[in-house]
Structure 1
């Protein structure tokens, strides 16, 4: 799993993270991971496949059964990030 180093974090921010972590019963590192995950993958985000399915349904070109079948066939493996090196 990749690691991230963050330099020059203000003392008051570091202290606030430690307090927040203590309130949630976890380490500061675990708290930071949670904050990053929530920021990168917020609840309620609209995913592209969901958007395309809703567009097709509104256009009358996709039944519920067809949408379910497509969902079952969909590859749920996370995509690999593109490398520019």
Structure 2
């Protein structure tokens, strides 16, 4: 697992991290991991599948439209020829 070293962290910031970690009942290192995880992988991010479903709803796709799209995925595409 990768490791990260943070240099030149002010004493005030380090102290605030320790207090925050204590408040959440975890080590300073675990608190930093939680902060970084929340920053780069927010829970409210939009996932591609959800976005596509929303687009389909806005386009008023019917059940037959959805079935056509699903059927299309099962049929292999014909390879292109350049001759």
Whole-Å separation in 1 of the counterparts to 2:6 and 2:27: 16
User: Partner residue of 1:13?
Assistant: 13
Displaced runs of 4 or more, over 6 A: none
Number of equivalent positions: 65
| Normalised TM-score (structure 1) | 0.66
C-alpha root-mean-square deviation of aligned residues, in Å?
A: 1.8
Name the structure 2 match of 1:61: 61
* TM-score (norm. length: structure 2): 0.67
Gaps of 5+ in 2: 71-83
Q: Give the greater-gyration-radius structure (CA).
A: 2
Q: 1:62 to 1:22 in 2, by over 3 A?
A: farther
Unaligned runs of 5+ residues in structure 1 are 71-85
Q: 1:25–1:60: structure 2 CA closer, same or farther, 3 Å change rule? A: same
